[in-house]
Amino acid sequence: MAAGHDAMGLNASVGANDRSERLFVRHLGQLGIDRVLDIGANAGQFAGKLRALGYEGTILSVEPQSGCYPQLLANARLDPRWIVLPRQGAGAEPGFLELNIAENSYSTSMLAVHDNHLRAERTTRTIGTERVFVNRASDLMRPELLASVEAIKIDVQGYERQVLEGLLPHLPRVRLLQVELSMVECYVGAPDMFALDRWIVAELGFERVSLEPSYYDETRGVVQQYDGIYHRPAQPGPPAVRRLGIQVGAVSTSIGGAYERRAGNGADAGPHWFKLCVKSWTQTAPKVVSVSEQAPAADPVEWARTERKPALAEVFRTMESMTDKHVLLTNADIALTSAMKSLFPVLDPNVVYFGNRTDVTDPKGNGELVVKGLYLGGFDYFVLPHEFVREINRTKAFPEHFRVGEPWWDYLLPILALASGYPVKRIQRPVPLAMHFAHETRFAHALWIENGERFCRTLETLRAVPHNPIPGFLDELLAAAAHPDPVTRLNQVAAALCAAL
C-alpha cells in the first residue's frame, strides 16, 4: 500500500484507524486461528499492527525486497512466534523474476506501476529493479505445515491473483483472507477489484466481511485501493487443544571423555562447570543423552555409544529414538538457563529454533559469573521437532563428514531445515538462554577451512536439487563464496548466513 504525505489528508486518516487490521484480528479470535501467513510483509508493518492489537499467534512473513528485508528481520527479532521466511516472493509458478523497486518501497511490484498510481503518489515510481526468486505460494513450506495456516494476508501490489493461484491447493483450508484490491488500474495488467472480488467469492467460495478503503488518490478525492477481507464462517474450527507451545522430551549432546579445560592463562571451566551444565539439562528435559565415543561421567546422563567422535548424521539417527517430542540439541559445554525452559510454552511446534550462547567468566573464582556478551560466531543449541529429525534421517540430508564439536555443522543445520521446507527462527531474548564459559578457540584453523569448503560444496549440491525450495537464498550464499581467497570467502559466507537468519 502506498503511503500518503498529507498528515491531514484521507490517507493519514485511513492509516491511523487501522480498520482492516482490527477487523482481521477480530475474526482471527472468533475463528480461533493461531497461524497467519503474511505475504508481502515489507518491513513488518502488518504483523506489528496485529501484535499491537493483541494477536498472540504465529505470524509467518514473506518478503522479496533486499532493501527492507533486514528491517523485517530486526522487527521480528525478539518475537519467537514471528517467523520470517527466507527472502523470496510468492506466485503461481516458481522462477526468477525482475522486481520493480518503488521509491517508497511499499509500492514495489512484479508488475509495472501505472500512471494512475503515479499521478496519485509520485513516490510509487520505479527507481530500479532486482532479480528475485518467486516461489509457488503453496511451496513456501512443507504441505503439512502450510495446512496448519488458516489465515492469509496478501499485499503484493497487483500480483494478488498469481499468489492466489499458487495457493489453490491450500485455499479450501483457509478460513480468513485479506487481499489488496484496486478499483482503478494501479499496476499494468493487474485485475480490477470487481473481477478479483467475484473470483474470490464465486469460485474460491469465500464470503465477504468488508471492503475497506486503504489508499486514496488525494488529488481527486477517490479511493484507488481497498483491503478485501473474506472468511469461511461455516467451516469447522480448529481443535479445542491449543496448537502453540512445545514439549521437549530430551536433551541431546556429545560428551567426549573427561570434561577438563586447562588454558594457558589458568582459566579452567573444569568439572564444576560440567556439573552446572548437566544440572541445567536435567532441569530442561526428562531425559539427557550423550551420543559419544566415551561414557559420560555424570548421572543421570544416558550413553548412546559410538566408535569415535560421532558425525551429526549419527547423532540425528540416535535422536529419533530418544523421544517422540522435541529434542534440544546442544554442545557439551553449554549450561541452559531457566529462561530457556520458560520459553517452550510460547514456541511454535512446526519451527526449527536455534540460537547463540552467552559467554561468561568467573574472574574471582567464586562462582559469581560475569556476562561478556552474546557469541555471534556460531549457533550452540537447536530445538528440533521430532518430525524434522525423522525427515533428516529419511533423506540422509546431513553429510557424514560433519562431526560434533567441529566448525560449520551448526551453520548447515538451519540450511537443511529450510531445504526440507521447515521454517527456522533464531531465538534472541533480552536475557541469556544458554551460557558458555569463555575460552580461546580450540579447533584447528585448517579444519575450519576444510569444513567450510565442504559446507560450500553442500550448498552447491542442495542448489542442484530439482524443486529446491530456497534457490534464491542458496544463490546469495554461493555469491558470497565467489572470492578467490579461502579465508575471505568463508568469512563472507558465514557473515551472509548470519545476516540472513
The three grid cell numbers given for residue 86, joined into one nine-digit string = 527466507
Q: Is it the case that residue 266 has pLDDT exceeding 70?
A: no
Query: How many Cα atoms are found within 13 Å in the side-chain-facing hemisphere of 72?
Result: 32
What length does the chain have?
A: 501
Which residue type occupies 37? L
How big, in percent rounded to 5, are the helix, strand and coil portions of the chain?
35, 25, 40
The gap from C-alpha 157 to its chain's centroid, in whole angstroms, comes to 23
Which whole number is the average pLDDT over 445-460?
Answer: 95
Q: How many alpha carbons lie under 13 Å from residue 203 in its C-beta half-sphere?
A: 10
Question: Distances from the Cα of 70 to the Cαs of 47, 64, 102, in angstroms?
Answer: 15, 11, 17
pTM of the model: 0.93
What digits encode the pLDDT tens for the residues 103-140? Answer: 888 888 888 888 888 787 788 898 999 999 999 999 99
Cβ-contact 113, 101 below 8 angstroms: no
Range in 257-261, 282-286, 297-301 with the lowest mean pLDDT: 257-261
Residue 15: what pLDDT? Answer: 61
Average pLDDT over residues 203-217: 91
Cα angle: 63, vertex 65, 71; to 5 degrees: 75
Residue located via cell numbers 559445554: 333
Say whether pLDDT at 1 is over 60: no
| Residue with more model confidence, 16 or 166 | 166
Quote the CA–CA distance of 254 and 288 in Å, as a whole number. Answer: 10
Cell 525478539 belongs to residue: 78
Place of cell 516472493: 89
For the residues 249-262, what does the mean pLDDT come to? Answer: 74
Task: Compute the average pLDDT of residues 274-300.
Answer: 93
Residue 148, burial from CB neighbour count under 10 angstroms (0-12, 13-18, 19+): middle
Return the bridge partners of 163, or none.
none
Q: Fold identical between 10-231 and 248-441?
A: no
Cα separation of 471 and 267, whole Å? 45
Query: How would residue 7 be classed by pLDDT, with cut points 50, 70 and 90?
Result: very low
Question: What b/e sequence results for 426-435 when a residue is b if at least 16 CB atoms lie within 10 Å of its CB, and e otherwise?
Answer: bbeeeebbbb
pLDDT of residue 446: 92
Asked if residue 262 lies in contact with residue 440, where contact means CB atoms within 8 angstroms, the answer is no
Report the b/e string of 469-482 with b at 16+ CB within 10 A: bbbbbbebbbebbe
C-alpha cell at 392: 533428516
- Residues 466-475 have a mean pLDDT of 93
DSSP strand E in 308-366: where? Answer: 326-330, 334-336, 352-355, 358-361
For the stretch 412-426, pLDDT in tens is: 999 999 999 999 999
Predicted local confidence at residue 217, as pLDDT: 77
Work out the pLDDT band at 6, boundaries 50, 70, 90: very low
What are 339's three cell numbers? 529462561
Separation of alpha carbons 420 and 427, rounded Å: 20
Query: When comparing pLDDT for 438 and 349, which is higher?
Result: 349
Query: What single DSSP character describes residue 168?
Result: T
Cell 486514496 maps to which residue? 216
Using alpha carbons only, give the angle 439, 440, 444 rounded to the nearest 5 degrees.
Answer: 135
**What per-residue confidence (pLDDT) applies to 239?**
46
> Residues 2, 42: contact at Cβ < 8 Å?
no
Across the range 252-279, mean pLDDT stands at: 69
Cell, residue 150 = 488458516
Give residue-wise pLDDT tens across range 319-349: 999 999 999 999 999 999 999 999 999 999 9
Q: Which three cell numbers stand for residue 463?
A: 542448489
Cα separation, 34 vs 467, whole angstroms: 29
pLDDT of res. 11: 65
Q: Measure the CA angle with vertex 386, ends 380 and 389; round to 5°.
A: 65
CATH topology of domain 248-441: Spore Coat Polysaccharide Biosynthesis Protein SpsA; Chain A (3.90.550)
CB 399 within 8 A of CB 342: no
By mean pLDDT, which of 5-9, 156-160, 453-457 is the weakest? 5-9
pLDDT at 258: 46
Residue 8: what pLDDT? 53
Helix (H) or strand (E) holding 419: helix 409-419
How many CA within 13 A on the CB side of residue 284? Answer: 32
Do 428 and 78 meet the contact criterion of CB atoms below 8 Å apart?
yes
pLDDT, tens digit, 9 for 90 and up, residues 369-389: 888 888 888 899 999 999 999
Residue 2: per-residue pLDDT = 43
The domain defined by 10-231 carries CATH number 3.40.50.150: yes
Sheet of 370-374: strands edge to edge? 334-336, 434-437, 358-361, 370-374
pLDDT at 32 over 80: yes
So what's the pLDDT on residue 267?
Answer: 46
Domain ranges of the chain: 10-231, 248-441, 444-501
